[in-house]
Amino acid sequence: MRKQIAAANWKMNCTFQEGEKLMDNILEANISLSDHQLAIFAVPFPYLLMTRSAVELEKNYFVAAQNCHHQKSGAYTGEISAGMLHSMNINYCVVGHSERREYNAETNTMLAEKVNQCFENFIIPIFCCGEPLNIREAGTQNDYVAAQLKESLFHLPADTIKNIIIAYEPIWAIGTGKTASTAQAQEIHQYLRSVIAGQYGEEIANEIPILYGGSVKANNAKELFSCADVDGGLVGGASLIAAEFIEIIKALK
């Protein structure tokens, strides 16, 4: 069975003390994960070591960075390299989140370099893709997300890309008042998997987890995760509420 993943994205939230308490409250639930289930916490850079320490004795609980730089090193004040993350034993990194694409002008070409940096440093990228509202309304979302995959990932050899995690974000359904249905989530996830299969074959496509990143909450997680091609969620706001994220973890297939 493919990995089933509940990934928390704290974004730029929580003081250090609030982050500690949030982790304590989640871990106090003592959720036992199966071999194919993962809980990953993408926390702000200052909290990486705290969170890693909190989960290091927990089975299948991991920490992710929310970003890394696309260069190996250099005069990039304020940036964090994948090599730095590796030196801290951080195993995952979010790459290409829609907010970074929009606010930091990250291109598909730049994200390909970030993906390379991650893999070169033994870090698994959680690669984000997804379309904004104008693309969805134009009905061209398939071409849009396929280009994101092709331009950022399809340079990778098969034995590398099979280790990636993909997160689909329906940007048009986040903060717009519009809602993505379960059927829409399954449809686009199935399409993403077909695009990967077209390049690498069905066997590899069926190994890659594809997470849903469109306002996953405790009350819709089980229905979303029941879809054949939805392998968990990349969770924003609900991951900041212990009771919500606990139920989301429990909803994994």
Q: Mean pLDDT, consecutive 10-residue segments, the chain of 253 residues?
A: 97 98 98 98 98 97 98 98 98 97 97 98 98 93 97 98 97 74 94 98 98 92 97 96 98 97
* pLDDT at residue number 174: 77
Q: How far apart are CA 99 and CA 164, in angstroms?
A: 20
Q: 131, 169, 244, 247: which is the annotated catalytic residue?
A: 169
- Select which of 70, 86, 97, 189 is catalytic: 97
To the query of whether residue 56 is one of the catalytic residues in this protein, the response is no
Specify the pLDDT at position 180.
79
Residue span of the structural domain in which 116 resides:
4-250
Element (H, E) at 2: none
What is this structure's pTM?
0.97
pLDDT of 175 reads 64
Instruction: Tell me how far apart the terminal alpha carbons of the chain are, to the nearest angstrom.
Output: 10
- What CATH number is given to the structural domain containing 160? 3.20.20.70
**pLDDT score, position 172:** 87
- The predicted pLDDT at position 177 comes to 60
Confirm whether 169 is a catalytic residue.
yes
**Lookup result for tokens 């009771």:** 243
> Does residue 186 contact residue 225 with C-beta atoms inside 8 Å?
no
Number of folded domains that form the chain: 1
